[in-house]
Every structure is written in C-alpha cells, then in structure tokens.
Amino acid sequence: MLHKNIGELLEHNHGYASVMHWHGIDAFSYLQFTLDEVCKLKNIDGKSIELALLKQEFKTDNPDLEKLKHYAPSSLCTYLLNNHHNYAQRMLPVIEHHIHQAQIQLSDNYPQLHLLANIFNTFKTDFLKHIAYENEKVFPYIKKLEHYTIDFNNSMLVQVKDFSIKDFIMKHHHDDDEMHNIRILLKNYAVDIRDNLAYKVLMNELKTFEADLKEHSRIEEEILVPMAYRMEQKLYKKIDDLVKLN
C-alpha cells in the first residue's frame, strides 16, 4: 500500500481520502506521489497511516437496528453521539476542504462547485446547530427522563414544562432531509467513469455523509423517540396522579 500512488489508492477506495486528511495528507495535491513518498516528505509514520487505511477498508457501516432496540435510552443517546455526531463533526471539515480544493482545480469542468461551496457552508452552520441542540438539550433531557421514570423526583416537574419530546419531533421534522438542496444540485451525486478522480471522491464523501445522516434519523425516529415518548407519558401520569392527591 505504501508504494502505490495516492491516486491509485483513491481509485480503489474513495474513503481513503478522509483518512489521509486526518493524518495530515491533502490527497488531492499528491495524486501522482506514492504514499511512502508523501509520508517521508511530511515526516508521517507510514505504518500508522497504512493501518488506518486498512481499518477503513474493512469497516462496516450498518448498525444492527434490532440490537439497538434493546439499548436503554441513555445508552442509545451515547451511541448516536459516539457513532454519528462525532463522525459528522470529523467529516464536515474534510468535505469542506475537498470542496474548496475541487473548486480550485476543477471549476472549469464542474461549474456547480461554486454553488456547492455556498450551499454547503450554510448547511454546515445549520447542521452544527442541530447537533448542538441534540447534545445539549435533547439527549440530556432523555437521560433525565430515564432516571426520573425509575426514581421520580419533583424537580422533574419544572423540566417537563420547559421541554418535551413533541418539541423535538416538530423540530426534527422541520430539519428533515437537510441535504436536499445539495443532492438536487449534484443530481444525486451521480458520476461516471470519465469524471475526474477528485470529483468522484467528493461525491462519494457527500453521498456517504448523507447516508449516515439518514441512518441517524432512522434510529431516532424508529427507536429513540418512541422510547422517550413512552417514558414521558409515564412521567406525565405520575405528575397527574400527584396533582390529584393534592
């Protein structure tokens, strides 16, 4: 692997570009160099990046949804944070950089890259707000729901008045399909054999990123939100019973 050209490696697996980026290699700028040559040029441990590329080669992307159904809600929040939010936050700067590089190198043949850069910048800003909303508001609330469903405490009365799962459902539906404009602009990330390698890599990154977003949404909509809603209703009943007693 070390003695193959970076262009050859990317033709084999478009996902290698992001791994190289995380190791300090701007793949689009060294397509004609061997991986070993670039590692020596940048003083990077070749064996370390080779191992990372092999992990990329054999990684599996599809979670076992049936298994996730048996997670506790708090564990499911942690799973989404570790496996989807962290992935998205790592990929956003990679994709943004590759859009910039492709725009410089390929805009004569792919004029849509200029508009893509603007749309993606807006998408990134909105998406990071969405992630922050889930991490700071939704997931902590669900974890508290789980705790107070088991060990009820009057302090939860204030919190359920401030926020509810219905609030999240409404916002989630509003934010659904965030990459719609990007997908339409790029014709569903379509490429053919004649397309430039850097363009093909970029389309693959965007397509893979969107697939991860959809998987994230599916887990929330089919598993986490119904769990949380049932817990919330159970808590509301406890509150109603408490009010009746008083």
Q: Give strand ranges (E) for 202-245.
A: none
pLDDT at 61: 58
pLDDT at 94: 96
Tens-place pLDDT, residues 53-93: 998 877 765 667 889 999 999 999 999 999 999 999 999 99
* Three-state SS at 5: strand
**Higher pLDDT among residues 58 and 218, named by residue:** 218
pLDDT at 95: 97
Given a cut of 80, whether residue 150 has pLDDT beyond it is no
**Higher pLDDT among residues 178 and 142, named by residue:** 142
Please state, in angstroms and as integers, the Cα–Cα distance from residue 169 to each residue in 130, 152, 217, 220, 246, following that order.
13, 24, 11, 10, 32
**d(C-alpha 77, C-alpha 142), whole Å:** 8
Given a cut of 60, whether residue 133 has pLDDT beyond it is yes
- What mean pLDDT is predicted for residues 217-233? 91
* Three-state SS at 25: coil
Element (H, E) at 229: helix 225-245
Please state, in angstroms and as integers, the Cα–Cα distance from residue 213 to each residue in 16, 56, 209, following that order.
20, 19, 6
pLDDT at 165: 87
- What mean pLDDT is predicted for residues 209-227? 92
pLDDT at 177: 66
- CB-based burial label for 27 (10 Å; 0-12, 13-18, 19+): buried
- CB-based burial label for 125 (10 Å; 0-12, 13-18, 19+): exposed
**Higher pLDDT among residues 150 and 111, named by residue:** 111
Average pLDDT of the chain, as a whole number: 88
pLDDT at 1: 84
Give the predicted TM-score (pTM) of the model.
0.88
Q: What is the DSSP letter of 195?
A: S
Given a cut of 90, whether residue 245 has pLDDT beyond it is no
Residues 6+ apart with CB under 8 A from 46: 2, 35, 36, 39, 40
pLDDT at 227: 93
State how far Cα 126 lies from the chain centre: 13
Contact between residue 168 and residue 160 where contact means Cβ atoms under 8 Å apart: no
**d(C-alpha 148, C-alpha 11), whole Å:** 52
189: left (phi over 0), alpha (psi -120 to 50) or beta: left
Tens-place pLDDT, residues 25-44: 999 999 999 999 999 999 99
